[in-house]
């Protein structure tokens, strides 16, 4: 998978050299390029922002550096990936569509994402219009109903959620099937040794005996029950959605618990 990130803070993306994503890059499963938006300016001060037309607080990102950056990054990607490759252009945006596990799954199956990090109060609206008119597929994605200072932290989260679903990136593919949200429910509780643990306050805490029974059918049924119970308690919205999926929800996987 090819990922291009556009940002005025390239150093913010340094964690993508580490851990699972870093290994995916070294293994050739991920070709990640980080570009400094200021390299697409032409003035002495490398200006990317200006005051909002119509007035208001803060600054707005100017359209010209964005248009030049996209022209450069999209041309380079097309040349390197081959003639028919087209990117999905993703803008983290608190006014975007909710980014969920189903989004991560769908995007992990794409050959090429361009992730564009806004800053200040946001980007001149004409940039989105220009990209759509140029025939590019554009998605605005929100991590949740809160506001960050810019798109970089969202791009870190989106990249991790997407790249770990690329085949070969996570060593044990079975762990991707069992985790929270893979089937629209929260994961069951996990335990490891010691089966009897005395906590620092002196309380003796037993792991559920059924997990030591060796009866895999019973263990699966117990976990399914805990999964439902926990989802009903913490995320009733997820259970409601499984009963009556809304337009735009993830399709039923057919292996729900
Ligand atoms: C300026 O909360 B966010 C987000 C916030 C932003 C920009 C982009 C994304 C640009 N503020 O996802």
Reported as a pLDDT band with limits 50, 70 and 90, residue 255 is very low
107: which residues sit within 8 A by CB, 6+ positions away? 88, 90, 113, 158, 162
- Mean of pLDDT values over 197-203: 99
Quote the ligand 1 centre to 155 CA distance (angstroms).
10
* Model pLDDT, residue 182: 83
Residue 142 CA, closest ligand 1 atom number = 12
- Mean of pLDDT values over 127-131: 99
* Mean pLDDT lowest among 4-18, 89-103, 172-186: 172-186
Reported as a pLDDT band with limits 50, 70 and 90, residue 205 is very high
Question: Cβ atoms within 10 A of the Cβ of 164, count?
Answer: 17
* Model pLDDT, residue 246: 74
Q: Which of 104, 66, 67, 107 is nearest to 88 (CA)?
A: 107
Q: From CA 39, how far away is CA 152, in angstroms rounded?
A: 17
Quote the ligand 1 centre to 8 CA distance (angstroms).
13
- Mean of pLDDT values over 185-197: 98
pTM of this prediction exceeds 0.75 = yes
Question: Cβ atoms within 10 A of the Cβ of 70, count?
Answer: 22
Ligand 1 contacts CB of residue 94 (under 6 A): yes
Reported as a pLDDT band with limits 50, 70 and 90, residue 256 is very low
Ligand 1 contacts CB of residue 118 (under 6 A): yes
Ligand 1 contacts CB of residue 122 (under 6 A): yes
72-81 per-position pLDDT tens digit: 999 999 999 9
Residue 117 CA, closest ligand 1 atom number = 8
21-30 per-position pLDDT tens digit: 999 999 999 9
Q: Is the pLDDT of residue 131 over 90?
A: yes
Protein residue whose Cα sits closest to atom 6 of ligand 1? 150
- Mean of pLDDT values over 88-115: 98
Testing ligand 1's pocket by substitution, the residue of 151, 158, 161 carrying the most ligand atoms inside 8 A of its CB is: 151
Residue 146 CA, closest ligand 1 atom number = 2
Residue 149 CA, closest ligand 1 atom number = 11
221-251 per-position pLDDT tens digit: 999 999 999 999 999 999 998 887 776 676 5
Question: Cβ atoms within 10 A of the Cβ of 107, count?
Answer: 22
Testing ligand 1's pocket by substitution, the residue of 92, 116, 121, 123 carrying the most ligand atoms inside 8 A of its CB is: 92
Ligand 1 contacts CB of residue 96 (under 6 A): no
194 prior amide bond cis, ω within 30 = yes
User: What is the three-state SS of the chain?
Assistant: CEEEEEECCHHHHHHHHCHHHHHHHHCCCCEEEEEEHHHHCCCCCCCCEECCCCCCCCCEECHHHHHHHHHHHHHHHHHHHCCCCCCEEEEEEEEEEECCHHHHHHHHCCCEEEEECCCCCCECCHHHHHHHHCCCEEEEEECCCCCCCCCHHHHHHHHHHHHCCCCCCCCCCHHHHHCCCCCCCCCCCCCCCCCEEECCCCCEEECCHHHHCCCHHHHHHHHHHHHHHHHHHHCHHHHHHHHCCCCCCCCCCCCCC
Quote the ligand 1 centre to 195 CA distance (angstroms).
45
171-190 per-position pLDDT tens digit: 898 989 989 898 999 999 99
């Amino acid at each position: 998978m090819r990922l291009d990130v556009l940002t005025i803070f390239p150093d913010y993306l340094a964690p993508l050299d580490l851990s699972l994503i870093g290994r995916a890059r070294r293994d050739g499963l991920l070709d990640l390029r980080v570009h400094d938006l200021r390299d697409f300016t032409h003035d002495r001060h490398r200006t990317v922002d200006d005051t909002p037309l119509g007035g208001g607080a803060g600054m707005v990102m100017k359209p010209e550096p964005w248009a030049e950056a996209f022209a450069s990054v999209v041309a380079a990607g097309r040349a390197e990936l081959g003639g028919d490759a087209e990117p999905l252009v993703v803008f983290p945006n608190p006014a975007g569509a909710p980014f969920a596990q189903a989004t991560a799954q769908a995007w992990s199956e794409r050959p090429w994402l361009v992730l564009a990090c806004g800053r200040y109060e946001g980007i001149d609206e004409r940039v989105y219009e220009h990209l759509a008119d140029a025939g590019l597929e554009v998605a605005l994605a929100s991590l949740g109903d809160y506001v960050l200072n810019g798109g970089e932290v969202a791009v870190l989260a989106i990249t991790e959620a997407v790249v770990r679903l690329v085949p070969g990136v996570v060593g044990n593919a079975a762990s991707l099937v069992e985790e929270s949200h893979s089937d629209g429910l929260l994961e069951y509780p996990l335990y490891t040794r010691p089966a009897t643990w005395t906590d620092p306050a002196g309380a003796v805490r037993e792991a559920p005996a059924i997990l030591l029974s060796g009866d895999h059918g019973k263990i699966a049924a117990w976990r399914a029950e805990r999964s439902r119970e926990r989802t009903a308690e913490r995320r009733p919205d997820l259970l409601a959605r499984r009963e009556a999926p809304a337009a735009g929800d993830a399709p039923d996987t057919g292996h729900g618990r």
